[in-house]
Structure 1
């Protein structure tokens, strides 16, 4: 229901056309179907691979996303943005330059995906991580984790150039890959090393069974 109503809200608010909504639902349904059928065999295959293959596969997956978006943009080389789009965008966001064909966003998504995968791959080799623990430890991990994300995001954003050109794309990919790696690998590793988390779930102590001895009386 949430997906359905969010889609309707996009049309209601004037940010998408009805055919955009139907197309999105269609592709989403196709991807969900593919995921359902391929999830288990892909996970089984992935677990059997070595470290290098796992990292290469994750990196390759992120490049596939970039390739698809670049291919889509190239197919729209002769496309001209309608004036009504420009007018509507200027009415709602007068301070922002409107460019519906920019592709910088896919480098953010792909970089974050690779960073997350890299963290998931490396963390077990670094000792593992268990999300349990005292409430104050969990809260501390939240604050430190968010602070780390903001530090990487804002710090590198101030240093790296932005724009629609090759170097900016590469640096954007690297920035978001580092954010993903922080979230899935570096931060959990630091939490374990600083005592804010355990590498493994603590084994529960078995309950002692009290065996009552029965006295037998000879009558």
Structure 2
């Protein structure tokens, strides 16, 4: 399969060059960068909390899980096949990337997250909007010279599978998990996240274990689930209320989230750590804190401030 993909990728280089030769301009590059931004960690740090804190808890939980699992699936495939990105030159690289190319993480998360949300919203106009976003995020990766068409198509397929599996399994598992006590829930969440971390492929370019991207995702997953345990057993956070409260809730939550996102990173950069395992452990805790703040600590704060 790898040999076939590499042959297909080599044959598709002229198509990438044609796209860049016929569509490239400063304005188009800015537009394509915007669509690629819609698939980045920074965008989802804004979008996921907004959905969970102001629109719908169910939508927020499902899209957050779709983000984690689609990103994990894309990374797992990337490091398993380790297929390089388009050669530069002749292709112009207009976006910085360092990981392998197949599959496109942007295309995977676009299909996984936006597809899951569209299935929950169930509005025709939203399906059209989501389809447009998914297409242009994928196209932007080709335009920016960081992916072959096969990377994007593979990402769309992977994200679709993640969305379908999540939408099918979550409703069946939810009542079972809710019947557990809090300690069992937390233990299961931690064990599941660590299992995903252990089985993730090793980055051949970076010595040591575990893979940094897997550490971030599994830490985020545990933090999200831990916060949800708190909510299910005690907080019972509600998103209803006037929009003035919802916006204030979102702004206050973003401030807290930024503190826990930036603060541990500054601490990690300042510590003279040489042990890779210690660095990765702190990274896991950092992303676990971010997830816990989003799903647990911030909703608790909203209740204390009478914003929920």
Same fold per superposition (TM over 0.5): yes
- Secondary structure in 2 aligned to 1:160? helix
What whole-Å deviation, never above 9, does each CA across 1:152-175 have from its counterpart, x for those lacking one? 122111112488921111111101
Pair 33,51 (structure 1): closer, same or farther in 2 beyond 3 Å: same
Which of residues 154, 161, 168 is equivalent to 1:23? 154
User: Which residue does the alignment assign to 2:110?
Assistant: none
RMSD: 2.8
Gaps of 5+ in 1: 82-97, 198-219
Measured at CA, do residues 129 and 105 of structure 1 come closer, stay the same or move farther in structure 2, by a change above 3 Å? same
Aligned to 1:9: 140
Q: Tell me the equivalent position of 2:289.
A: 178
Which structure features the higher share of helix residues?
Answer: 2
- Residue 17 to residue 38, structure 1, CA distance change in 2 (3 Å): same
The 2-side partners of 1:194 and 1:166 are apart by 39
Give the equivalent residue in structure 2 for 1:169: 280
Q: How far apart, CA to CA, are the structure 2 residues paired with 1:103 and 1:194? A: 39
* Map of 1:217 onto structure 2: none
User: Counterpart of 1:40 in 2: which secondary structure?
Assistant: helix
Cα distance, 1:11 vs structure 2: 1.6
Please state if 1:191 is matched with 2:299: no
- Partner of 2:258 in structure 1? 150
Q: Is the 8 A contact 1:114 1:177 kept in 2?
A: yes
What is the 5 A alignment of 1:59-208? 59-69=190-200, 71=201, 73=202, 77=204, 103-161=211-269, 165-197=276-308
By how many angstroms is 1:141 displaced? Answer: 1.6
The count of residues paired between Structure 1 and Structure 2 equals 173
Q: 1:164 to 1:43 in 2, by over 3 A?
A: farther
Q: For residues 175 and 233 of structure 2, what CA distance do their matches in structure 1 show? A: 18
Partner of 2:184: 53
